[in-house]
Amino acid sequence: MKVLINAYAVCPGMGSEPGVGWHWTTEIAKHCEVFVITESEFKEKILTEVEKLPQKKNLHFFWNEVSPEVRTMCWNQGDWRFYWHYRKWQKRTYKIAKHLCEQQEIDILHQLNMIGFREPGFLWKLAKKKNIPFVWGPIDAKEGFPKGYLSALPLKHRLFMQVKTLISIFQLRYNSRVDRAARRAAILIGASPESVESMRKYKNCRAILINETACTLSPDSDSQETIEKFSDGIHILWCGKIEIRKQLTLAIKTLGELLRKERKVTLHVAGSGDTAPYKSLAKSLNIEGNIQWHGMLSHEEVQTLMKKCHLLLFTSLAEGTPHVVLEAIQNRLPVLCHDCCGMAAVIDDSIGRKIAVTNAEGSVERFTAVIENLTDSPEELLRLSQNCSERRKSLSWEKRAEQIVELYSLALSEKK
């Protein structure tokens, strides 16, 4: 089977969108011959790592370069100027894809990433012309930030989130290219339960739920030792980019409640961003001595920190499927999160706990209650950690590839 994949972001050894692009394309190449059109920022890394892969003969990369200025816009999340350049990139990608389809007998066209629904590219248009099954996703298509949490935000951030939500709903309802891409797709994949519901609600299309990220299984995965020492209290990890949608404030307030109830807890905060307002909050609660600020860590350093902690507290309210949650499961680190976004489909009671999305006060109260229960029952934390061993196998990249190849086959059989 020959598959042409449109993946703007691809890079080995990274998380987020570049990691999604790398893992999906290289895993699919174990089953199919894959032609990838991508941006060339990480060209040298890609070419170096591809040479190490047993399936390298099945991987063909084609480069569509943007300027350094556009790359900066891309990595500066929230810079709306990027979408204008990204659409131009998609138009050039369409021409490259059209040329490839004239040279190769392409069986499947797959629009992979970026996973945001706003820019569906133009492969759907080529699919119509060439009568080739079009696959789109996983896509992240949420309506916006939960209303119950807006009142707790500073005015500037509250207005930003409200405007962004209105724009998202407008685009979901009225963006004609999103509509045509969704309706043209032989297979439509949602990255989260909310994304699947949005496609049903706004496009009257059935989407299949498959999270965009997965677990990497290393040779020593099952030999990893489980942390069993609680003598100095429970160590909780918060990890991610420090920005408003990640809601670090909830983690700090939860820590304050736990310490007020005389629980022995240390919060580890890892990630880049402006920590000043959060440190100020911790100081006002007189809990700064119970927080370790690690700053931006390398991928390897994050894995090491995960092995030293007992619980990942993931407070975010606006995500696709966070890569850090899957990495926690890889490292047998139980997860406590909101019952929303992609983590809602990943975390269950065998490996963690989920709380309802209500409001800021409700989240702090529920997070505190769950952690209290776990500190009273350390054997339950150990059970959750041990259960991660089996769960990560079903969430592996290998399983993701098997799922998507089955869907490719289904799309081809329906075409016939």
Q: Is the pLDDT of residue 231 over 70?
A: no
Across the range 222-230, mean pLDDT stands at 51
Q: Is the pLDDT of residue 209 over 90?
A: yes
Helix (H, G, I), strand (E, B) or coil at 52: coil
Across the range 267-274, mean pLDDT stands at 94
pLDDT bracket for residue 228 (50, 70, 90): low
Which run of H or of E encompasses 281?
Answer: helix 276-284
**Do residues 265 and 233 make contact, with C-beta atoms less than 8 angstroms apart?**
yes
Structural tokens at position 103: 């040279």
Q: Which residue has the tokens 């040298």?
A: 44
Strand order in the sheet with 2-7: 59-63, 33-38, 2-7, 108-113, 134-139, 187-190, 208-209
Helix (H, G, I), strand (E, B) or coil at 225: coil
**Of residues 389 and 32, which shows the higher confidence score?**
32
Q: What is the pLDDT of residue 182?
A: 95
Q: Which residue has the tokens 């999270």?
A: 211
pLDDT bracket for residue 299 (50, 70, 90): confident
Which run of H or of E encompasses 288?
Answer: none
Out of 10-24, 207-221, 401-415, least confident range: 207-221
Mean residue pLDDT across the chain: 92
What confidence tens digit (pLDDT) does each residue in 48-71 have? Answer: 999 999 999 999 999 999 999 999
pTM attached to this predicted model: 0.89
Q: What is the pLDDT of residue 229?
A: 56
Q: What is the pLDDT of residue 16?
A: 82
Q: What is the pLDDT of residue 224?
A: 47
Helix (H, G, I), strand (E, B) or coil at 212: coil
Spatial separation of the C-alpha atoms in residues 282 and 266, rounded to whole Å: 13
Q: What are phi and psi of 63, to 5 degrees?
A: -105, 135
